[in-house]
Amino acid sequence: MRTTAGHRIVLGADDSPVILHVPHASQVIPADARAGLLLGDEALAMELAHMTDAHTDVIADRAAAASDRTPWSLVNLLSRLVIDPERFPDDREDMRAVGMGAVYTRTSHGQLLRSDDDAAAEDDLLARWYWPYGQAMTDLVDARLAATGRVTVIDVHSYPSQRLPYEVGGKVRPAVCLGTHSFHTADWLLDAGREAFASGGSIAVNTPFAGCYVPLKHHGKEPRVSALMVEIRRDIYMVEPGGQPTNGIAAVIASLTRLIDAVTAPPVNAQSGTPSVRFTGRDA
């Protein structure tokens, strides 16, 4: 395991091409970043309950441990209210329209989270947390490519059973949403996701959230890098909002384990296709 102030890399098997990416599980906000937030403690606690993909780090860790060949993992140790590593840091990011670019200025309910005209503060957050995180993921993907010749990033998320005001996607709330992109998500990978989670309830593709995570260096350029986002509806496995896991978490862990095992050894004729996303590229 390799840990920095902003993220943790969990080592996997030398011959595993799979990386579990867990970007939104933490509620940690460093003191200096907290000073820039305009919410009181009670309001901030509620916002964290709404926006944290609670227990997805536990789900990823336990699925990794149960898999036939241990995947590698990169886990964000900071709240997405510090920086969101999956968003573009500039006007390419659609979610900037609702105050949720790489640095959020609005809450899930549209309230002012931090000043939206302090470019220096935003640049500081990006320099301290966003760019080092992106480089860590880029380096990890490069290392797995060198070791195995291919990489599959499984982007592990959850989402609330009730739609939040900031959301721009569809209104359907399936038990599992699978996010894809035309360059990095081949048909075999999407099929593997559907099969792995088939016993967990309804499955939808790219709704209510779309896309998945691939470092900018590889986006749209490296066909050996595949990606799939997995969004689990929170009432399936935990008490909302922000509560403890329920017995349902075991089934989610089992499904993710099946997906890891399936993509570790994909079909012989599997094509990498033209899959996945952008460096940020999600609207969740």
Q: CA-CA distance, 222 to 274, in Å (whole number)?
A: 9
Closest CA to 166 of 101, 215, 259: 101
Pairing of the two strands 151-159 and 225-233: parallel
Q: What are the tens digits of pLDDT across the range 171-221?
A: 999 999 999 989 999 999 999 999 999 999 999 999 999 999 999 899 999
pTM above 0.85, yes or no: yes
Task: Express each pLDDT in 38-83 by its tens digit.
Answer: 999 999 999 999 999 999 999 999 999 999 999 999 999 999 999 9
Roughly what angle, to the nearest 10 degrees, separates helices 56-66 and 249-264? 50
Tens of pLDDT, residues 109-136: 999 999 988 999 999 999 999 999 999 9
CB count in 10 Å sphere of residue 276: 30
Tell me the pLDDT band of 276, cut-offs 50, 70 and 90: very low
* pLDDT at residue 281, rounded to an integer: 43
Domains and CATH numbers, the chain: 2-264 (3.40.630.40)
Mention every residue, 6+ apart, whose C-beta is less than 8 A from residue 65: none
CA–CA separation, 186 and 227 (whole Å):
9
H/E segment holding residue 153: strand 151-159
Sheet holding 203-205, edge to edge: 2-3, 7-10, 72-76, 18-22, 151-159, 225-233, 176-179, 203-205
| CB of 276 closer than 8 Å to CB of 218 | no
pLDDT band at residue 271 under the 50/70/90 scheme: very low
235 near 39, Cβ under 8 Å? no
